[in-house]
Structure 1
Amino acid sequence: MLVWRLSAPLVLLLLVMRVVSAFIPAMQVLVVKELTDAVAGLLTRDGEMSEPVKWLAASGGLLLIGALLDAAAQYMTMLMKQKTQFKMETMLAGKSMSIPLSRFEQPQYYDQLQRAKMNVSFRGFQLIEQFFSIGQSLLTVASFFALLWHFSFVLSLGMVLVVVPTLVVHMRIGEWKYWLMRVQTPFSRRLFYFFDLMTNRQSAKEVRLYRHANKLLHYWGGYFWKNAGEQKKVELRSQKMRIGIEGLNGVLAFLFSCYAVWVCYSQQLSLGAYVAIAQVLATTQASMRMIAQNLSSIYEETLVMNEYYDFLDSEEEENGQGRHVLNSPIAEGITVDHLTFAYPTSLKPVLNDISFRIKPNQTVAIVGENGAGKSTLVNCLIGLYPEYSGSIKYDGVDLMELDVNTFRDRTGAVFQDFLRYQVSVKENIGFGDVGRMEDLAAIEAAAARSGAADVVRGLPDGMDTLLGPIFDGGHELSVGQWQKLALARSFMRDSAIMVLDEPTASMDPMAEAELFKRFTELAEGRITLLISHRLGSCRMADHILVMKNGTLVEQGSHEQLLSLQGEYCRMFELQSLAYR
């Protein structure tokens, strides 16, 4: 069990404290019996004042011990919960970062992830608390049964009747709630999505400009009340069953109380004995109901926790123990034969029967219209989408046989949707090679190569400046400045392959010209894959791949492709018209 592995001493200590606490109520009942008899004797002039005082002190002492044990148990429970929450969320995050990238294209992945992370740390530890609570309640009820048996075995056996129907009802309610959670997951994600659109920074400008806030509210409200209506139905059914079972329990309590009066009368017991029996009956009935509720809650929580463990058991991408290590620099090049790829949710291939060869140290531009498959092709080439058919070979070795971790260590990339880490400049660049995050000289060199050094010089705290608007004291950058930092991040590693997906899309013309001026230096000694819509930048490429509708329609140098008067020439002429 996870909690035991993380906090065995705390679990044992808490168990001992729960056992002690479990017998305090029975001891209190005995003290109340003696106190009642002592007070009765004092009122009839047959007793002394010292007797009630003694039992009052005993009652106060038990209350104090119970309070101290409860406070200590709550503190230890908090410590255990912290450890468990950290471990469970660490496992969940680690699993998410090892899921095959293609699964992020599937809506079912997001449904499963939401169910896995929805209060998972709370639910996971709640199971432990409920087990402890049931154990303590069972010990308490056992001690009460022993007391009741002393007065009447019928009362002891009859109390069992309280728990069975209550347990059945609450387990049924737990099933309904779990079913509701599963059914509502896709709609809850839509609910969160539209609420996020209305509240996040990225969408704020467009929502105000196009004035569709009310429409978003309408969408959000529709999903909200749809979920609320289903929740209301389940809650009404649950309350009807709860009212029925509580009514039954009330009748049983009445009958037990009447029988207790008859027992005291027939056996000529003292007033203190009746008070003790009445208190045991009331407390036992409440404890049995609590046991039934906790057992049904454990059943519900177990169903929910299965979602968490199902997610942890889902397929992971290869962890990198390949037989071959990529050489640097690449000596023979990259060979692609009959490459075909389709997303899990799509029947139509995104890439269809593509073949080409990249020579060592070549800069290869990949061009085509939006949706042509350019980024997907690159993701296959660098092993992010391994679910392809055909073959990709590096220096004659199939990509699937290369060690994934060392391969990725030799790959640098600036993706079109690059991340903007809300941390310091130093960390933003250093994330490119976490092993050298404290190497300021390497970070400054990477910044100089990407053009980010000018950005850093204009910041108030230089490399230590906190970036982004999310946290207090953060300094926001322009999109172009963020892109320079992303480029610097890629230059932190000595890569054999460099991917540049629209590297100048957010740069001004001067910064773009400066980058292209130094492009030969930046690409030296490595294979560079350049995705660009600006065909003028393709002049510096050694080889150009022209994509259309998932197929490779042309390839060659800039001059060769213009002479073909084909797709590339058509796109180039259309773009050049804008500059004439």
Structure 2
Amino acid sequence: MKKHLLSMQNVTLKSFQLLFHASPIMCIAFFMFEILFCLIPIFSAKAISQIVNIFSDLKNSELNDLMLIVVFYISMNIGMQVLLPIRNNVSEKLSDKIAKDSEMMFISKIASFHSIHCFENNEFYNEMQIARNGCGTRLISSLQMISSLLRGIITIILTAGYMLSIHWVIGTISLLAVIPNAFYNFWVSKNGVALFRSRAESSRKLSYLSSILSTPGYAKEVRLFDLGSNILKKYENLFDTEYSRINKVRGKQCLLGMISASVGAIANGAALVLFVIMAINSKTSAGDIVLYTSLLPQFIGGLQIIINGVAQTKDNNYYIKHFLDFLELDFGETNGTLTLPSQIKKIHNISVNHLSFCYPNAERYALKNINFTIDAPALVAVVGENGSGKSTLIKLLMRLFDPTNGEIKINDIPMKEYDILKLRKNMSGVFQDPARFSLTVRENLEFANVEHKIDDDDMWEACKKAGIKDFIKQTSKGLDTILDKQFEGGTELSGGQWQKISLARAFLSDASILFFDEASADLDPKAEYIFYQSVREYAKDKIAFYITHRLSGTKDADLIIVLKDGEIVEIGKHTELIKQNGEYSKLYHAQADGYRS
């Protein structure tokens, strides 16, 4: 897993580019509103101080000035109230757009991985979790922080200017008052990032334990074996372990926070006392007192916004950096440029040469020195005990993984030279544990060919071949029935019915190479018989591989590949292998004896 790491200096710039790209107009409008809402309170405070000064020494000649200032003050406040809903609306729309764009980038990156290599890697899951925390809300927070920093800078410049014009010592004291808080925030940010990173895996475990009790797929086992209290205990123990570790950090944060806040409060109090002494000695006006007391909180707030913003930006950038780095992840996947012919008559063979494969982080090879050639058309059975490498072989033939050694060829051309997406458009398959899309029957079947519309008649014909038509006909909405009871009008399918939906989808594809990985495992004997009849009919001009433990379905196979401990120990037709009296014969007769007894 290769990472193209961004420097922290580039993260803020890249974040701003993403924000601006989401909606340039709304982004500009948002920052304009932020600047405006920063200026209004300061100018309002100045207007109030002038009103107080005029009232303290009111003369008729100054009434016009007073009215102008009052009108100015009222206008600013009315304008602020009128513009506030508009500003909030722009902010919400921009936030939604950023959330959508970043989430689309995140899931598009995951969808772009051609192999499933990454899903065998624990480090990938940790990186993915941290990266997910860097998109959406973190980018929105980045927008808010950039605007806060801008607002803080403008606030400091204007308030400092006004306050220093009254007395430079007061401004200096107010500046020093926030320094302890700055160090505190930087410390919190640094430790917070390290703490979150260390919690990535435990957070995933907590989420998983919670899902066991809240996901329908676990409901039966949880109740049958009374697992509720056991899972809750595991969750509680893991949570308490994390909580204890976090609390130690929080305790230190609390102590340092109290100290920094106390120092700041004492310094601000000293500045205020100094100003009161000046007022008593008539060295400042009533308006200046009002202005100072109005601007001091804004000045302190502006400084804290900048200090907190810098610290939080560093914290925020950590997660955004992981998000941006995740978008650049490279698993070393290679892709060819050749287009696989769509017509099966142009595919004359598949050959596997000296193929070996080892899963990531595994110590032993799952497959070793696999060799065979299949000429079309052919129905190929792959058999063997559990763990012999059958499913791994199918994954390699689908190019969900690339071989560690050796190669696979299609039409005597290495598979790696074909464009992966175009190659897979000529493949279809049914798995023992097919994906259960909580969508309508129609949407599930449309996945067979997302680029072309599939007629209802073709869907019903595929469902008939798969043995699921009668069940769908009995539902209230037919092809528009949602296959999940969690949704209104939905229905629940058994494991065998899900396999039939998956089989119907395979029948609707234009694939020239078919894979069936224990596709009949959940079918009853009658349904299994229909399955084999349908597969043989559908695959009569194609190459079809099927894994099965039920060897009654291998008699009609054109070729049987027998695997043991990751190696091919036998290869041939049913009658040939029975005569050899080897591994296949042993497995076959063991099953047959079981049926006879």
Q: Please report the TM-score for the alignment, with normalisation by the length of structure 2.
A: 0.92
| Structure 2 equivalent of residue 214 of structure 1 | 229
Shift of 1:327: 5.7
Report the Cα offset of residue 256 of structure 1.
1.3
Return the match for 1:536 from 552, 556, 559: 552
Q: Which residue of 1 aligns with 2:476?
A: 460
Q: What corresponds to 2:133 in structure 1? A: 118
Question: 1:548 matched to which residue of 2?
Answer: 564
Deviates more, 1:290-299 or 1:363-372: 290-299
Deviates more, 1:541-550 or 1:305-314: 305-314
Partner SS for 2:504: helix
1:445 aligned residue: 461
What is the match of residue 133 of structure 1? Answer: 148
Q: Distance in 2 between matches of 1:77 and 1:70?
A: 10
Does 2:201 align with 1:186? yes
Report how far residue 324 of structure 1 moved. 4.9
Partner residue, 1:385: 401
Shift of 1:119: 6.5
Number of the residue aligned with 1:78: 92
Q: Does 1:269 align with 2:284?
A: yes
What residue is the counterpart of 1:20 in the other structure?
A: 36
Cα distance in 2 for partners of 1:7, 1:13 equals 10
The whole-number CA distance in structure 2 between the counterparts of 1:517 and 1:72 is 65
Which amino acid letter does the alignment assign opposite residue 433 of structure 2? D
Identity %: 25
Larger RCO (CA within 8 A; separation ≥ 6)? 2
How many angstroms does 1:203 deviate by? 0.9
Partner of 2:13: none
Quote the residue 1:313 is aligned against. Answer: 328
The aligned counterpart of 2:308 is 293
> Which is worse superposed, 207-216 or 274-283?
274-283
Cα distance in 1, alignment partners of residues 34 and 312 from structure 2: 20
Aligned match for 2:368, one of 352, 360, 365: 352
1:194-219 C-alpha deviation (Å, 9 max, x unpaired):
11111211111111111122111111
Asked if structure 2 preserves the Cα contact closer than 8 Å seen for 1:429 and 1:492, the reply is yes
Amino acid at match of 1:192: S
For residues 60-91 of structure 1, the C-alpha deviation after alignment (integer angstroms, 9 at most, x for no partner) is 43322223333322211111111111111001
The separation in 2 between residues aligned to 1:160 and 1:268, in whole angstroms, is 22
1:377-421 CA-partner distances (Å, limit 9, x unpaired)? 011112111143101111110111112121100001001111121
Cα deviation, 1:536-568, whole Å, max 9, x if unaligned, reads 101111111111111111111111111111111
List aligned pairs for 1:329-344, cutoff 5 A. Answer: 329=344, 330-344=346-360
For 1:415-494, what aligned pairs fall within 5 Å after superposition?
A: 415-494=431-510
Query: For 1:353-389, what per-residue CA distance to the aligned partner results, in whole angstroms no more than 9, with x for missing partners?
Result: 1111112111110011111110100111121111431
Partner of 2:377: 361
Give the equivalent residue in structure 2 for 1:32: 48
SS in 2 for 1:356: strand
Q: Is the 8 A contact 1:102 1:344 kept in 2?
A: yes
Secondary structure of the structure 2 residue equivalent to 1:298 = helix
Write the distance in 2 (CA, Å) between the matches of 1:287 and 1:518: 73
Q: Does structure 2 retain, via aligned residues, the 8 Å contact 1:373–1:547? A: yes
Bigger shift: residues 274-283 or 320-329: 320-329
1:259-280 Cα shifts (integer Å, max 9, x gaps): 2234445563222212212222
1:324/1:401 contact within 8 Å kept: no
- 1:403 & 1:162 partners in 2: Cα distance? 63
Name the residue aligned to 1:230.
Answer: 245
Which position in structure 2 is the counterpart of 1:502? 518
Offset of residue 459 of structure 1: 1.8
Shift of 1:258: 2.2
- Partner SS, residue 432 of structure 2: coil
Alignment of 1:552-567 (within 5 A): 552-567=568-583
Match of 2:6 in 1: none
Residue 258 (1) aligns with residue 273 (2): yes
Out of 226, 239, 254, the residue aligned to residue 254 of structure 2 is 239
Moved more, 329-338 or 416-425: 329-338
User: What SS class does the counterpart of residue 508 from structure 2 fall into?
Assistant: coil
Counterparts in 2 of 1:438 and 1:49: CA distance versus 1, 3 Å: farther
The aligned length equals: 578
CA displacement 1:169-198 (0-9 Å, x = unmatched): 212201111111110111111111111111
Mapped contact 2:151–2:302 kept (Cα < 8 A): no
The residue that corresponds to 1:525 in the other structure is 541
On the 8 A contact 1:127/1:301 being kept in 2, the answer is: yes
SS at 1:434's partner residue? coil
2:397–2:408 Cα contact (<8 Å) kept: yes
Counterparts of 1:309 and 1:199, CA distance in 2: 32
1:96, CA displacement in angstroms? 1.1
Pair 1:175-2:190 in alignment: yes
What is aligned with 1:153? 168
User: C-alpha distance in 2, partners of 1:440/1:208?
Assistant: 40
8 Å Cα contact 1:339/1:389 also seen in 2: yes
Any conservation in 2 of the 1:35–1:56 contact (CA below 8 Å)?
A: yes
Q: Report Cα offsets for 1:428-482 as digits up to 9, x if no partner.
A: 1111111234532332332233223223222211111222112122111222222
3-state SS in 2 of match to 1:578: helix
Matched, 1:107 2:122: yes
CA separation of 1:81 and 1:31: change in aligned 2, threshold 3 A: same
Secondary structure of the residue that 2:26 maps to in structure 1? Answer: helix
Structure 1, unpaired ranges of 5+: none
Bigger CA drift: 341-350 or 157-166? 157-166
Asked if structure 2 preserves the Cα contact closer than 8 Å seen for 1:414 and 1:500, the reply is yes
> Aligned partners of 1:224 and 1:332: how far apart in 2?
58
Question: Which residue does 2:264 correspond to in 1?
Answer: 249
Q: What letter is aligned with 1:402?
A: Y
TM-score, normalised via structure 1 length? 0.95
